[in-house]
């Protein structure tokens, strides 16, 4: 019998979302494991399969998901050879954390804590003190960084334990609040070109008997957003970054390990009304909503006081099986943001949290005109965006 038109499909059960593997296989587990191997006190080593090394380098490639890397062996011959073990390296996927977005993931990497603790819960999130949305990547409006994220970074703890510690990235990021709360500790070195960064990272790695060095490359993500995963521009960036990884791997000093990872993957979303739901044009989704946060595939929805349960019901009905839609407490109980959420972080999370399951977006053509036009997107818990590589090369 055909379903009557008013009978929406059953919403997805919140429990069916593939929650990140916090504490056993997530980005937040990487630096503590490496620091523990160098004898930094107070560090657990959840990624027990990574043997200790005296010198550890993490190369974070923005936006290079595990699935995209696996799909492009011809563009990434060096990294693919690590996966096959033909150079003695190894590789496997780990989970980025929720949401799978740069500000959240960089904070997870640097602090070694899940989002529920470090408190950067999305691309944008509400500041409960002011009631305003705050962009976590651009740190706008400005908010005292160490109040927003009070924990020390693993770099600071390693530095205090006598480990030579350095970050090598674009000079643009040297003094940003996000760098301050995620990457402080030791010395920041700004270099414009990828080649300079690789060479400097190798030098910094050799500069201490025990060393922890972080380096970063942005443009795989940039090209993916603009042109899509698998576009010529994106493939060109993958080829380039593969050569950077090889350049760094070939310069590793003795007793060193290089870990290549990423902050999230990416998924292309078709440009039509079925795949792009425009919040600013949808009166059902807008009803009772005071603020829309997060990004297209990972929304924080802040309701007008008293409207929380109506908004939850409405978003579930409208989005059906396309999104996992949870109340704040359901998402927290399911562990989306980690095993626990600090009190100061609780009100930053939406009254309703919506994570995309299908290749769909909730855009906002008026509030977010630029973001709404991106081809490649990320944020949710699907393997394409949640799984990131953890590749290992040892000297
Ligand atoms: Zn991105």
Say if residue 151 is in the same domain as residue 65. yes
Interhelix angle for 232-249 vs 77-84, to 10°? 60
Residues 43 and 10 in one domain: no
Over range 299-323, report the average pLDDT.
97
pLDDT band at 84; cut points 50, 70, 90: confident
Residue 190 domain-assigned (yes or no): yes
What Rg value do the Cα atoms of the chain yield, rounded?
21
Q: What is the pLDDT of residue 7?
A: 56
- Model pLDDT for residues 247-277, shown as the tens digit of each residue: 999 999 999 999 999 999 999 999 999 999 9
- Cα 180 from Cα 297, distance rounded (Å): 27
- Looking up tokens 């989970």 gives 95
Q: How far apart are CA 45 and CA 27, in angstroms?
A: 12
User: Token pair of 245, please?
Assistant: 């990884």
pLDDT tens digits along 134-171: 999 999 999 999 999 999 999 999 999 999 999 999 99
Q: Do both 133 and 217 map to the same domain?
A: yes
Beta-carbon contacts of 374 under 8 Å, excluding residues fewer than 6 positions away, are 225, 226, 296
Distance (angstroms) between ligand 1 centre and the Cα of 301 equals 20
Residue 162 located in a structural domain: yes
pTM of the model: 0.96
Domain with residue 338: its CATH number is: 3.30.1360.180
User: Could you tell me if residue 76 is inside a domain?
Assistant: yes
Spacing, Cα 225 to ligand 1 middle (Å)? 7
| Across 235-243, average pLDDT | 98
Pair (288, 333) in one structural domain:
yes
Same domain for 56 and 204, yes or no, is yes
Kindly tell me if the per-residue pLDDT of 1 is higher than 80.
Answer: no
pLDDT in tens, 123-135: 999 999 999 999 9
Shared domain for 305 and 369, answered yes or no, is yes
- The answer to whether 35 and 156 have CB atoms below 8 angstroms apart is no
| Centroid of ligand 1 to alpha carbon of 33 (angstroms) | 26
Task: Give the range of the structural domain holding residue 351, as residue numbers without chain letter.
Answer: 5-16+269-377
Measured distance CA(394)–CA(307) in Å, rounded: 55
Residues 169 and 248 in one domain: yes
Same domain, 233 and 314: no
Q: Indicate whether 70 and 95 sit together in one domain.
A: yes
CA 21 to centroid of ligand 1, rounded, Å: 21
Write the pLDDT tens digit of every residue in 181-197.
999 999 999 999 999 99
Confidence of residue 83 (pLDDT cuts 50, 70, 90): confident
Dig out the tokens for 277 from the structure.
């739901």
Calculate what percentage of the chain has a pLDDT beyond 70: 97
Judge whether 21 lies within some domain. Answer: no
pLDDT at 248: 98
Give residue 388 CA to ligand 1 midpoint distance, Å: 13
Q: How confident is the model at residue 6 (pLDDT cuts 50, 70, 90)?
A: low
Query: Does residue 22 fall inside a structural domain?
Result: no
**Quick one: average pLDDT of 302-318?**
97
Q: What pLDDT score does 13 carry? A: 87
Q: Looking at residues 283-311, what average pLDDT do you find?
A: 98
Tell me: do 309 and 242 sit in the same domain: no
- Residue 230 is assigned to a structural domain of this protein: yes
Asked if the structure places residue 51 within a domain, the reply is yes
* Domain annotation covers residue 352: yes
Count the domains in the chain.
2
Indicate if 163 and 292 belong to the same structural domain. no
* Residue 3 reports pLDDT greater than 70: no
For residue 226, the CA-to-ligand 1 centroid distance in Å is: 10
Q: What is the pLDDT of residue 2?
A: 44
Tell me the CATH number at 239.
Answer: 3.40.720.10
Rounded distance from Cα 308 to ligand 1 centre (Å): 29
Six-digit token string for 66? 């595990």
Distance CA 168, CA 179 (A): 11
Q: Give dist(CA 330, CA 23) in Å, integer.
A: 20
Q: How far is the CA of 164 from the centre of ligand 1 (A)?
A: 30
- Do 228 and 325 fall into the same domain? no
Q: Does 285 have pLDDT greater than 70? A: yes
CA–centroid distance, 132 to ligand 1, in Å, is 23
């Amino acid at each position: 019998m055909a379903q009557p038109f008013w009978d929406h499909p059953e919403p997805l059960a919140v429990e069916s979302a593939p929650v990140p593997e916090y504490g056993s296989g997530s980005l937040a587990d990487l630096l503590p494991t490496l620091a523990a191997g160098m004898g930094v006190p107070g560090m657990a080593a959840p990624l027990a399969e990574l043997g200790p090394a005296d010198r550890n380098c993490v190369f974070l490639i923005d936006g290079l998901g595990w699935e995209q890397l696996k799909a492009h062996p011809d563009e990434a011959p060096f990294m693919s050879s690590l996966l096959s073990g033909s150079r003695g390296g190894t590789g496997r996927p780990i989970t980025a954390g929720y949401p799978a977005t740069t500000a959240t993931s960089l904070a997870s990497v640097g602090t070694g804590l899940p989002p529920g603790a470090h408190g950067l819960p999305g691309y944008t999130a509400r500041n409960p003190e002011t009631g305003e949305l705050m962009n976590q990547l651009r740190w706008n409006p400005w908010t005292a960084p160490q109040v927003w994220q009070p924990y020390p970074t693993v770099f600071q703890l390693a530095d205090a334990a006598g480990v030579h510690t350095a970050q090598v990235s674009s000079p643009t990021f040297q003094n940003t609040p996000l760098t301050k709360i995620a990457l402080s500790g030791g010395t920041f070195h700004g270099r414009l070109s990828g080649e300079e960064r690789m060479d400097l990272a190798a030098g910094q790695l050799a500069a201490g008997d025990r060393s922890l060095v972080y380096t970063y490359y942005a443009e795989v993500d940039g090209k993916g957003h603009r042109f899509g995963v698998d576009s010529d521009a994106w493939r060109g960036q993958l080829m380039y970054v593969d050569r950077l990884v090889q350049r760094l791997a070939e310069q590793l000093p003795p007793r060193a390990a290089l870990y290549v990872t990423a902050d999230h993957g990416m998924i292309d979303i078709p440009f039509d009304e079925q795949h792009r739901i425009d919040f600013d044009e949808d009166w059902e989704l807008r009803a009772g909503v005071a603020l829309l946060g997060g990004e297209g595939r990972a929304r924080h929805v802040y309701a007008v006081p008293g409207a929380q349960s109506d908004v939850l019901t409405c978003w579930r009905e409208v989005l059906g099986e396309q999104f996992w839609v949870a109340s704040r407490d359901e998402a927290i109980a399911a562990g989306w943001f980690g095993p626990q959420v600090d009190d100061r972080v609780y009100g930053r999370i939406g009254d309703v949290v919506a994570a995309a399951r299908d290749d769909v977006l909730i855009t906002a053509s008026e509030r977010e005109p630029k973001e709404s036009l991106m081809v490649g997107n990320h944020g949710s818990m699907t393997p394409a965006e949640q799984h990131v590589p953890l590749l290992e090369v040892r000297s």
